[in-house]
Amino acid sequence: MAELRLGPLLRYIDGSSATVWVEASRPCTAEVRCADGARGAARTFQVAGHHYALVPVTGLSPGTATAYEVLLDGARVWPRPGAPFPPSVIRTLAGDGPVRVAFGSCRWAAPPSGGRGARDPVGPDALDTLAARIAADPGGERPDILLLLGDQVYADETSEATRRWLAARRDLREAPGAQVADYEEYTHLYHESWLDPQVRWLLSTVPSCMIFDDHDIVDDWNTSAAWLADMRATPWWRERVLSGLMAYWVHQHLGNLSPADLAADPGYAAVRAAPDGTEALRALAARADDAPGCVRWSYRRDFGRVRLLMVDSRAARVLDEERRAMLHPREAAWLRAQALDRPDACDHLLVGTSLPWLLPHLVHDVEAWDAMLCRGGRGARWARIAERLRRQADLEHWAAFPESFAALAELIATAGSGPGAPASVLVLSGDVHHAYAAEAHWPGRAPRARVVQLTCSPVHNSVPLSIRLGFRFGWSAPARALGRWFARHGRCAPPPVTWRRTGGPWFGNQLMTLTLHGRTARLRLERARAPRPGRQRLETVLERELAP
């Protein structure tokens, strides 16, 4: 009898269809049956001895919520008998209702030390806390979509329990040590993260969109050409990056796509058609690693008149110092086409990128300065110093790719201008382990849309006091003056856009939620609190109107 190993995850959703992802213990037919009669079924496909299915569910009614169950070869495996949570439901989108988008990034899934009920060493998990709130009031407000903006798993910062598991299967004295090394070890990370009971139920009942960031593969992934050359010289890197991309494709990427996109995807067809899809998927991952831009991880989702463009700001990079770009030209062309496609059909444009576009001014200027020095603007000696600094200080955001920063600024200004422009263009990011809001303005140009950078991180992690103080200082007037000195030394061109901080920085495990209805947009920031062990709650830190 087939057993449910992982999932279900409710992934794609629209007004009449959905997809549900599962991992089973053996080959079988996975089926989803809804209380209103809608259903879907799919045969599992195999990768590295694991069996997965992405089940398309059709025949749903717009604006409704229906409970569902999962069956494997006709036997019900979800909901589990005696589960303490309400039934998992599929809530379809309504044509004219509000759309609630919750987002965050950086979830380290290590359990609290000391067992159940102990205080979590990095604070309460915001996803666990969100799950508890929804479970306590199933008919209350909940997100229509959950955006996870990177670092869903930490391949290079494993928990104590995972290190013990790794040590039982190989010698940790050999590289990569206590980091994950292959596909099987990646599956362990996803199990550790998504078998958390609260998170498992949350992901079964709230649709999710995901994108990777560096820790899904390794810290500072694709920082520079020199970094990549050093990594490729190690004996373990090739297996690590291919396994990471394969695991991401299976666990995260497939569920981002609509049924129509899946039907047209040759990689998905090849993996499903093979008795064992491992080699077909490995070949896809190799193409993605060897030739950035040939495999698209970015995607578009439309939620009524809300458009989400999730941008790959890791694997699509061009790293050659003379052509350095955050996005390969093919990726940049795709983003432009999607952002400018029928702007009158979009009330709000959301650009999801794991790395913030607008940073504290000092950090922006230092990253731009470092990029110019790495390119040789002050000679070979300065270039060597700048490369070391780039790696040590994580100088790899949009500001570290000056031409890409300017191109994104121009695209956002264009998308936000004209009579059919959306009411807001909101750039949603994570990565930096704190939250803030910054509003953009263009000298001599006034887009009709309100343009705001919204950064929210972490969901479950920590940040040292020194980094907290550094980010607070980075927004200050003295820091801005210091940043201008760096810009002059690097002979950096002034950025084409100005911005000011309008909120934050806020620290802690947190989530932001956007409520988008017609031309209005409202932001809420909530922080997970635990007044005492086992008593977690989300505390509202900020509520603010963003548009009109």
Nearest-angstrom CA–CA distance, 520 and 136: 29
Segment 329-347 shows an average pLDDT of: 95
pLDDT band at 494 (very low <50, low <70, confident <90, very high): very high
User: What are 10-68's pLDDT values in tens digits?
Assistant: 999 999 999 999 999 999 999 999 999 999 999 999 999 999 999 999 999 999 999 99
pTM of the predicted model, to two decimals?
Answer: 0.96
Quick check: is 518 in a domain?
no
Instruction: Output the average pLDDT for the chain.
Output: 95
Closest residue by Cα to residue 241 from 299, 194, 176, 294:
176
**Contact call for residues 505 and 432 (beta carbons, < 8 A):** no
Residues 322 and 391 in one domain: yes
Q: What are phi and psi of 439, to 5 degrees?
A: -105, 135
Q: What angle do CA 439, 442, 444 make, to 5 degrees?
A: 145
Residues 202 and 339 in one domain: no
| Integer Cα distance of 382 and 367 in angstroms | 14
274 lies in a domain?
yes
Same domain assignment for residues 361 and 413: yes
Q: Is residue 536 part of a domain?
A: no
Q: Which domain holds residue 435?
A: 312-511
For residue 62, what are its two tokens? 């717009």
**Burial letters 398-412, b for 16+ CB under 10 A, else e:** bbbbbebbbbbbebb
Same domain, 217 and 286: yes
Share of the chain above pLDDT 90, in %: 90
Does residue 185 belong to any structural domain of this protein?
A: yes
Considering the domain architecture, whether residues 378 and 449 belong to the same structural domain is answered as yes
CATH number of the domain bearing residue 237? 2.60.40.380
Phi-psi region of 220 (alpha: psi -120 to 50; beta: other; left: phi over 0): left
Task: Give the helix ranges, DSSP H, for 393-548.
Answer: 402-415, 465-474, 477-489
Query: Within this chain, do residues 274 and 331 fall inside the same structural domain, yes or no?
Result: no
Structural domain includes residue 163 = yes
Is residue 237 classed as helix, strand or coil in its secondary structure?
helix
> What distance in Å separates the CA atoms of residue 107 and residue 335, rounded to the nearest whole number?
27
Number of domains comprising the chain: 2
Distance, CA of 219 to CA of 217 (rounded, Å): 7
Same-domain status, 330 and 200: no
43 and 91: one domain? yes
pLDDT, tens digit, 9 for 90 and up, residues 402-440: 999 999 999 999 999 988 999 999 999 999 999 999 999
Asked if the structure places residue 523 within a domain, the reply is no
